[in-house]
Structure 1
């Protein structure tokens, strides 16, 4: 029969081996975490640099400098999608859709997006009747082809929904969001 001390020593040895194995696993995970954080910070810096280039004034060539936090990490910068076009600059086709906020008029959008908003303003009320992409395409005078519905209408309606201009209470059916509807 094994002695009690022998059994305790065996269990202590097994527990110590488990702790050492877990410590090795922790070291590996911490090293992987450090690599992932370094990669993430690189992408944050890249996005900020692109934002600076896109925000560059065409007349002066000056760009906004991204501030840093107290720890030296890059401070969050509004992405180009979140900043509204300057009222002095005309909106060009294919421009970025700004996030809706009070006081931002539909004139800040490209013409195709304005047409979708105008059509919805005439056909639905916020929280009321919804309109499908096929109905939007027909209202915009487009042929009901897959390319028009998916490529020209649904993608734009989804982008407007993501930026707060439209609501999609039922998948595939759109209506004006409460904020933009109150401004129209």
Structure 2
């Protein structure tokens, strides 16, 4: 018959081994998480910088580029302003603009946009299109005529 102290030591040893395994998994998970945080921060900084960094204006005090007016840190959609063409947008956003620009101000919903982009009109794809369209509305590239109905603002062709 085993002793009570022997049983307790055995269970303590097993618990200690489990804690060591979990601590190793936690260290690995934290390292992975930190890589993602660093990557997101780096991409945000890069996207916030003007294109052609070698010609970018620099602030005299710290030699860092001055952000582009209208740029939204971490965003691939700059704010719309006079003289800015849809060609500055990322390809997915440019395709949305091209589809809507060819409709002469006629609004489309996200299911129609998804289909026009060649995507299956399933919720995941439709929501992705909705997210992009909403971002274009917020930045002034599109208008939402009524909830969920998007178009290029009147008098403005949005094509590349």
Give TM-score, length-normalised by structure 1: 0.49
- CA shift, 1:61, in A, is 9.2
* Residue 85 of structure 2, aligned match among 88, 105, 121: 105
Which structure would you say has the larger Rg? Answer: 1
In structure 2, runs of 5+ residues without a counterpart are: 1-43, 62-67
Whether the 8 Å contact between 1:132 and 1:173 is mirrored in structure 2 is yes
Residues paired across the two proteins, number: 110
2:152 maps to 1:150: no
Q: Is the 8 A contact 1:97 1:163 kept in 2?
A: yes
CA shift digits 1:80-105 (9 cap, x unpaired) = 329xxxxxxxxxxx962111112111
Residue 122 and residue 62 in structure 1: after superposition, are their counterparts in 2 closer, same or farther (change >3 A)?
A: closer
> In structure 2, what is the equivalent of residue 114 of structure 1?
94
Query: Higher RCO, 1 or 2 (CA under 8 Å, sep at least 6)?
Result: 2
Residue 178 of structure 1 deviates from its aligned partner by 2.9
**TM-score normalised by structure 2 residue count:** 0.56
Unpaired stretches in structure 1, ≥5 consecutive residues: 1-49, 67-76, 83-93
- Give the superposed CA RMSD: 3.6
